[in-house]
Amino acid sequence: MGSPHQRRHGSMSSTGSLAGLGQKAYDQLFKQVLTRTDPEWIHHRAFSAIRAARPLTERVVGAGAARVGQPVEAMGIRFPHALGLAAGFDKNAVGIDALAGLGFGHVEIGTVTGEPQPGNPTPRLFRLPEDRAIVNRMGFNNDGAEAVARRLAARAASGRASDVVLGVNIGKTKVVPESEAVADYEKSTGLLAPHADYLVVNVSSPNTPGLRDLQAVEKLEPLLRAVRRRADEVTEPLGRSRVPLLVKIAPDLSDEDVLAVADMAMAVGLDGIIATNTTINREGLRSDAARVAEIGAGGLSGCPLTERSTAVMRLLRDRVGPDMTLVGVGGITTVADALDRIDAGATLLQGYTAFIYEGPLWPRRIVSGLARG
């Protein structure tokens, strides 16, 4: 029957055999080294290595994904293929083009807040290998909208920016009270919309107190309308086309609330919905219950989200019809997962946790699998 990776990814040519050897090497590295090292420390070191390796990876790995990828037209944008990197990996826009070099067709940076903030106390990032899952309570640690906007402007001016589609994910500054949330989002929008190919309003992280309360339609609709107005105010004088606006929702919404968000998105004229963010649910995990309890609060991502995130996608697609862009994220690990999410109604896909567990060849593997159908 072959190894688990052969069964998961199909029969391999000579090129595929090399990829398989690379995957086995990464599996051993992850098992023997990475699982025994602080996850946040490893994240920073791995991200540094990805940035340093950009000249090689974009010629070898990313170029391969670009050759086999099937372009997707969505929100007036031509995506080189369906798969992108979800927000949370590159919070500060420091490695967009290096990540594109690994084969991602779009990279969503952030979450960026109006003001810089350190996030929650460490430790705040945890692995659950038995579930191929991660728990995080990072708390939107980022350099703030002003610093990120300067970085994006410098990237554009450098002439070295790749053709990757850039999404910018914005959220509420922790110290800003809910009564001032709209102004906080407007500040980020004003600074970042001119640099974004699309803009995402994040109201679904469990790690900022009160943030998920903004998912209630009566609060979400005026927030989205304000962001839409501000985005138009800052991009129209530049002669830019309308920046698409999406909202990212949690898997923990009830079905009724998911449908309410879908109705509101159509009423407001949103360009899309990203489904889903992390979950606070801990049911059905294989990991030791005592270990899960010890980790404590935070958003759970990875394989445990697959079923619910797919169900939310089906609800949304049935409600909004065929035209609105829906981005599927949460528990997409295998090619079969990716195809299932597209079958459920996703226009585009994003990953994060699988990238951590599967390694740097994972994007190209998924893109190749989607091309084969």
Query: CB of 167 within 8 A of CB of 100?
Result: no
Q: Which residues are catalytic?
A: 205
